[in-house]
Amino acid sequence: MSTIREIWQEHVEWRGQILKLAKADIIKTYSGAALGWAWALIKPTLTIAVFWFAFTYGLRGGGPVSGYPFILWMIPGFTAWFFMGDMLNGGANAIRRYRYLVTKMKFPVSTIPTFVTLATLAIHIALLIIVMLIFVATGHYPDIYWLQIPIYMFFMTIFFVFWALFASMLGAMSRDFLNLVKSIKQPIFWMSGILWDVNKINIPWMQKLLYFNPITYIATGYRNCFIYKVWFWEEPLQLSIFILLFIITVLMALWAYKKLIREIPDVL
């Protein structure tokens, strides 16, 4: 509890700086390019276009999913993945990327993963607005199920804040951990149901096992809002598994922070 209280107090006291650094992180990421932050939207748009073409006209045959064109089924899950995929690597590298805040000034280490997450979230929100406009432009107008989009966004953000705290502490101590995270990113992507429907798996135990991947839960949750029209409380098993994974992630983050916080400045 003392560790939680310490982290909370640091976030309250430095809340203004956290927001300023989140803005600065976006500017820093895309500085030096003529189009600037627009690349944050261009890159995922091109990726979606390539996968849509490959799976519609190549590997998949172009059939609709749950009554929606494949491209509309794909983009909600992909939009969630762009945030989560960036946070897998970016979260683990957060403290190393901003090492000067640790080594050259007295800045609360626990807030570094938070402003990195908020910067990534800002880009995610912009991309999500584009997704909504695409649905409206194709005749699929907002309904009551869209109201739970902020809920899934909150679940995703708070989970990856603690993931980033845990992973960045270990990443600051060991480059091997960073290399491990980079190496498992692609396997996680292909096993997370971003490009295929987890609900279509006919083996019950395997379907339940896949929901122990939080990325699967969030990607499916976004599709519940746009495609399947399912409330988050109507899937209590999936929600319970996600809460369990979140609690485990929080405990690992608190353990890593308490154990490594004094050693990180010397290592960096």
| Dist CA 89 CA 261 (whole Å) | 20
The domain total for the chain is 1
Residue 99 pairs in a beta bridge with none
Which range of residues forms the domain containing residue 134? 2-267
Longest dimension (CA), the chain: 57
Closest listed residue to residue 65, CA positions, set 243, 223, 222, 259: 223
Could you please report the per-residue DSSP string of 211-225?
A: TTSHHHHHHHHHHII
Q: How far is residue 226 from each of residues 73, 87, 142, 149, measured CA to CA in Å? A: 8, 23, 8, 9
**pLDDT tens string for the chain (268 positions)?**
788 888 888 898 888 888 988 888 877 776 655 555 666 667 777 777 776 676 666 555 556 777 788 888 888 998 999 999 999 999 999 999 998 888 887 788 899 999 999 999 988 998 898 889 889 988 889 999 999 999 999 999 999 999 999 999 999 998 899 999 999 999 998 888 888 888 888 888 888 888 899 999 999 999 999 999 999 999 999 999 999 999 999 999 999 999 988 888 877 6
